């Protein structure tokens, strides 16, 4: 009997524990978020307010996309089954979504009134989608359409640069740094703006020169030029647009409104900036010296040319101090030569090659001209004739004596 009572008591305890666990499980399940039905729950209506007698309603698609009705004359699509999605390549629809309420660059004419923005955007989209003008009489619709006509097409391609790093070369003739060409890529009418520092300019392919704040359009081919001495690294910073926009239309069942939204696509690999590593520059001193005493020689006409291009870098006449040449391209070869020697010195035919950055002081020597021997002092009478006469007389006498001696024999 005692064992039976004990068993019954244990059974009651077990049932109680099971009941408590069932209750906890039921509460837990009820608190879990419900999964969204891929069909009927994909479109949920949300009322924003009213404007000019029209209800401002947007539709939340897949829990995240704010959509506008595209067929205001049809029924509410919320709770219906979406039939399909498609990219709607229509310029006006794309503009209305891009510059409309919740768009990337919303029209200022909405005046911060969300309901007004929703109604005007929805009615404008309905006109564009149906290719009609049913709602121009609603205050703000026609004005919004006029605004859209003045705006460029939203970027359907990433607005970016063709190259991220630009190589720099030296134009020895013009004495200027020049980068390779770059180009703005993307959708027509899109623009990019950036600032260039003092001493730097942007040169478009058509020859247009831009400084300071520069604005370029898609399709512009350009390069940068910088004065000698501009060095270091220049970067535009992140100015490109690594987003593109697609008007997405969600088709619904017949008699219900199709809805539309602007889908934003990001490209993290887009070249949204570019940079330039400018050349390094060095200064050099040039001396013209007497080879015998290493003193500076004034009066020599000197020249330095660029060894690669042959262009003249500098010409000058030497003085009693070394000549300074600034902003020679680091690592580039130059040639020093003499055009005319100082008075009293032989012309140097030497061609001295040097590399900027490897030498800070280049010296060319001159040798003094040889001086003539000093003439004799005293009587400067020319003795050539008397000597000749004397020699001739002696020879005549000797011949006469010889002939006489032979006759005596």
- Largest Cα–Cα separation, the chain: 203
Helix (H/G/I), strand (E/B), else coil: 255? coil
Helix (H/G/I), strand (E/B), else coil: 265? strand
Cβ of 66: how many Cβ atoms within 10 Å?
Answer: 15
DSSP state of 164: S
Is residue 276 within a helix (H) or strand (E), and if so which, with residue range? Answer: strand 275-277
What's the 3-state SS for 203-237?
EECCCCEECCEEEEECCCEEEEEECCCCCCEEECC
Closest to 152 (Cα-Cα) out of 184, 186, 189, 106: 189
The DSSP line for 289-348 is: EETTT--B-TT-EEEEEETTT--EEEEEE--SSPEEEEEEETT-EEEEEEEEPPTTBPPP
CATH class of the domain defined by 281-368: mainly beta
Contacts of 34 (CB under 8 A, 6+ apart): none
Distance CA 104, CA 97 (A): 8
Q: For the domain 160-240+266-278, what is the CATH code?
A: 2.60.40
Query: Are 286 and 260 spatial neighbours (Cβ–Cβ below 8 Å)?
Result: no
Pairing of strands 281-290, 361-366: parallel
Indicate the pTM of the whole model. 0.66
For the chain, the domains span 43-155+246-265, 160-240+266-278, 281-368
Distance CA 300, CA 247 (A): 76
Query: Which residues, listed in sequence order, are joined to residue 114 by a DSSP beta bridge?
Result: none
Query: Are 117 and 125 spatial neighbours (Cβ–Cβ below 8 Å)?
Result: no
**Tens-binned pLDDT, residue by residue, of the chain (409 aa):** 444 444 545 556 566 666 666 656 554 434 443 333 334 458 999 999 999 999 999 999 988 899 999 998 899 998 887 889 999 989 999 999 999 999 999 999 999 999 999 999 999 999 999 999 999 999 999 999 999 999 999 998 999 999 999 999 999 889 999 999 999 999 988 999 999 999 999 999 999 999 999 999 999 999 999 999 899 999 999 998 788 999 999 999 989 999 999 999 999 889 999 999 999 999 999 999 999 999 999 999 999 999 999 999 999 999 999 999 999 999 999 999 999 999 999 999 999 999 999 999 999 999 999 876 655 555 555 556 565 556 666 667 766 666 666 656 5
The DSSP line for 21-38 is: HHHHHHHHHHHSPPPPPS
């Amino acid at each position: 009997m005692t064992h039976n009572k004990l068993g019954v008591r244990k059974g009651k305890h077990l049932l109680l524990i099971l009941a408590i666990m069932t209750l906890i499980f039921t509460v837990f399940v009820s608190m879990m978020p419900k999964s969204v039905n891929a069909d009927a729950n994909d479109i949920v209506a949300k009322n924003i307010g009213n404007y000019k007698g029209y209800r401002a309603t947007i539709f939340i698609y897949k829990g995240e996309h704010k959509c506008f009705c595209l067929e205001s004359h049809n029924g509410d699509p919320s709770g219906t089954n979406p039939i399909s999605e498609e990219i709607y390549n229509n310029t006006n629809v794309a503009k209305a979504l891009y510059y409309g309420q919740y768009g990337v660059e919303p029209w200022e004419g909405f005046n911060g009134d969300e309901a007004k923005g929703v109604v005007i955007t929805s009615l404008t989209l309905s006109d564009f989608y149906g290719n009609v003008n049913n709602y121009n009489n609603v205050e703000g619709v026609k004005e919004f359409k006029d605004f859209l006509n003045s705006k460029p097409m939203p970027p359907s391609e990433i607005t970016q640069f063709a190259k991220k790093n630009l190589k720099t070369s030296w134009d020895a003739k013009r004495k200027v740094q020049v980068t390779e060409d770059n180009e703005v890529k993307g959708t027509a009418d899109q623009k990019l703006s950036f600032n260039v520092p003092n001493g730097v300019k942007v040169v478009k392919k058509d020859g247009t020169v831009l400084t300071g704040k520069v604005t370029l359009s898609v399709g512009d081919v350009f390069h940068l030029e910088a004065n000698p001495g501009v060095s270091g690294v220049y970067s535009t910073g992140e100015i490109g647009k690594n987003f593109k926009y697609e008007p997405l239309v969600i088709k619904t069942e017949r008699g219900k409104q199709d809805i539309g939204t602007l889908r934003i696509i990001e490209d993290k690999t887009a070249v949204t900036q570019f940079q330039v590593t400018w050349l390094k520059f060095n200064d050099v001193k040039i001396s013209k010296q007497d080879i015998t005493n290493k003193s500076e020689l004034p009066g020599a006409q000197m020249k330095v040319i660029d060894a690669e291009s042959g262009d003249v870098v500098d010409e000058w006449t030497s003085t009693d101090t070394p000549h300074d040449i600034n902003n020679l391209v680091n690592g580039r070869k130059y040639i020093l030569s003499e055009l005319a020697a100082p008075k009293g010195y032989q012309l140097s035919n030497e061609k001295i090659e040097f590399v900027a950055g490897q030498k800070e002081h280049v010296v060319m020597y001159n040798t003094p001209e040889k001086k003539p021997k000093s003439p004799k002092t005293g009587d400067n009478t020319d003795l050539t004739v008397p000597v000749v006469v004397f020699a001739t007389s002696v020879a005549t006498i000797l011949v006469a004596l010889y002939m006489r001696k032979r006759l005596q024999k």
